[in-house]
Structure 1
Amino acid sequence: MRKARIIGLGIAAAVVAGAIYQLPARLSQQDQPRLTAASTPTTAPVAKGKNPPAGRGGTDIRITTTPRNKRPLDSRITFPVRGSAEYDVLPGDPTTIGTAGPLLRFRVVVERGIKGVDKAELGRFIRATYADPRGWTGGGKRRLQHVGEGESFDYVLMLVTPATRDAICGHGYDRYTSCRIGDRVVLNVARWANGVPDYGASLTAYRQYMINHESGHRFGNGHELCPAPGAPAPVMEQQTLGLHGCTANAWPYLNGERYRGRPGQYDDPTPTT
């Protein structure tokens, strides 16, 4: 078994303000794009049998594993590899989530071309994840509110196709993971529908982890390491790529206390999609 190498933490950030409807085909970490109203959707073909483009630093992304759960765990959800980069904004909810701390308003959008996602249920699921006593409002550090179209917001959760994930997140070819960049919390629909192999918990738990991990970056948290074999994984561990002896855990608070690991991240390969 290859011994994992621990590398230093680096988080890219870009600030985005205003409503999000359409994104340009390519985004860099430094871009602060002007986002415009949606136009006619287009779907770009994906070449078959091609090697992925070079990754960060001009080297190829290392691909050593292939997910074994080839059949989607949620077969209701279908999506193209590359979506339209246009979005439907989910209705908000006036309820304030949490009891103490500064208020942050969030928007939720779904890329057009993704089918089988119950948008009302998605909104409820995100709000319930945030409202759980083990979630990010459980420690009294912040309050959250889900706002809809036409309302100001502090950040946006985006459910997107794999190639759109790459366009927003940058760093070359990936199409597997999710990310946070600036005020965008980007959830890859491939992981939302399929989860990850050998996670050791339900798809519902993995979805809660996706929301809490990427939102945790928006709330100022970096990656963390497994504290001990058999221990729950910190929510800021990159559980999508490996647990490193820990057990799956979707939550930042356990037993009423903020649960953490040592800062850092593992040099895990990114699987193929």
Structure 2
Amino acid sequence: MPSSPLWRGPDRRDHPPDPHPPGSRPAARRRRRRLTVTLGIVLLLAAASSVLLARAGDRAAEPEPGARSRLGYGAGADEQDRTSRYPRVGAGSFAVAGDGSPVRGEEGPVTRYRVAVEQGTGQDPDAFAADVDAVLADPRSWIGSGGLRVQRVAGAVPADFTIYLATPLTSEAMCAEGGLSTEGYTSCRLPGRVIINLARWLEAVPDYGAPIEVYRAYVINHEVGHEFGEGHEACPAPGRPAPVMQQQTYGLDGCLPNPWPILDGHHYSGDLVD
């Protein structure tokens, strides 16, 4: 009796003899039919299993809608690309920019500052210092009031305050020393220390509506404004420039982006909010 892994012949002890011998044509045709049907069923089952596995693979590869941003899909991928430009935490030590700057401003006492950048961030202290100098030397900045002058100093030269560029986690820890909670997102000022969050310096904030250079000038003037004794201010009215002491990082409340405390030669401000 021929055997096959897909088919086994009848047990002659339980069944009467087949009227057609194994070599006869009817028996051979039946065997072929049974073998064909059995093979067809096996192939159908295999095909169905492949489809199910493929669909399961698709479900495993595609995250649920609510998880797309968490896993780096869609808008989340842009955020992931941006954050790859800088570390979340650096060495915790700072390199001070070299040299210094001339005295800027026409009248008033000279306030001296130094600039320092956290090590391990990939940022050049001298380049950051040049950006800070350009902002504070602009006549639309605080020197435009005519009541003070500024100068950057280097190294061990005494300074009235230091402007730090720090990673999100380092800036959060520094601000927390003064009881301020930034959640690693915003910049802050403590007495004698202006702390600029590296993430905000490199990517500003969503929907700010102005080039990165405008936001950078704003964050420098805002935090240095606190060092000069200025408090937070509100948007005067929708469509008007935001006061530099408005917390523009958290939103503009209908105002337009504005990085300068002096507009048209006059100190521009809003109502105090704290």
Q: Report if TM-score (shorter chain) is over 0.5.
A: yes
RCO higher in structure (CA 8 A, sep ≥6): 1
1:149 is aligned to 155
Q: Does 1:213 align with 2:219?
A: no
1:193 is aligned to 202
| 1:62-77 superposed matches below 5 A | 70=79
What is the rounded CA distance, in whole Å, between the counterparts of 1:134 and 1:68 in structure 2? 37
Q: Does 1:110 align with 2:122?
A: no
What is the rounded CA distance, in whole Å, between the counterparts of 1:184 and 1:176 in structure 2? 17
Structure 1 residues 238 and 68, CA, compared in 2 at 3 Å: closer, same or farther?
farther
In 2, are the aligned partners of 1:205 and 1:250 still within 8 Å (CA)? yes
In 2, are the aligned partners of 1:97 and 1:127 still within 8 Å (CA)? no
Structure 1 residues 259 and 167, CA, compared in 2 at 3 Å: closer, same or farther?
same
In 1, are the aligned partners of 2:96 and 2:125 still within 8 Å (CA)? no
2:108 is aligned to 101
In 2, are the aligned partners of 1:72 and 1:194 still within 8 Å (CA)? no
Structure 1: runs of 5+ lacking an equivalent: 1-65, 266-273
Q: Secondary structure at the match of 1:148?
A: coil
What is the rounded CA distance, in whole Å, between the counterparts of 2:80 and 2:266 in structure 1? 37
1:125 is aligned to 131
Q: Secondary structure at the match of 1:93?
A: coil
Q: Does 1:250 align with 2:250?
A: no
- Alignment equivalent of 2:240, drawn from 231, 241, 244: 231
1:135 is aligned to 141
Deviation at 1:94, TM superposition (A): 4.0
Deviation at 1:123, TM superposition (A): 1.5
In 1, are the aligned partners of 2:222 and 2:244 still within 8 Å (CA)? yes
Deviation at 1:239, TM superposition (A): 0.2
In 1, are the aligned partners of 2:115 and 2:125 still within 8 Å (CA)? no
Deviation at 1:172, TM superposition (A): 4.2
Identity %: 44
| 1:30-41 superposed matches below 5 A | none
1:178 is aligned to 187
Number of aligned residue pairs: give it. Answer: 197
In 2, are the aligned partners of 1:68 and 1:197 still within 8 Å (CA)? no
In 2, are the aligned partners of 1:252 and 1:260 still within 8 Å (CA)? yes
Deviation at 1:68, TM superposition (A): 9.3
Deviation at 1:91, TM superposition (A): 1.1
Deviation at 1:80, TM superposition (A): 2.1
Deviation at 1:253, TM superposition (A): 0.3
TM-score by length of 1: 0.68
| C-alpha RMSD over aligned residues | 2.0
What is the rounded CA distance, in whole Å, between the counterparts of 1:72 and 1:100 in structure 2? 46
Structure 1 residues 68 and 256, CA, compared in 2 at 3 Å: closer, same or farther?
farther
1:166 is aligned to 172
1:135-183 Cα distance to aligned partner (Å, 9 max, x none): 0111111111100001110000000011111111113461000000111
Q: Does 1:91 align with 2:98?
A: yes
CA radius of gyration, larger in: 2
Structure 1 residues 164 and 114, CA, compared in 2 at 3 Å: closer, same or farther?
same
- Amino acid in structure 2 at the alignment position of 1:102: P
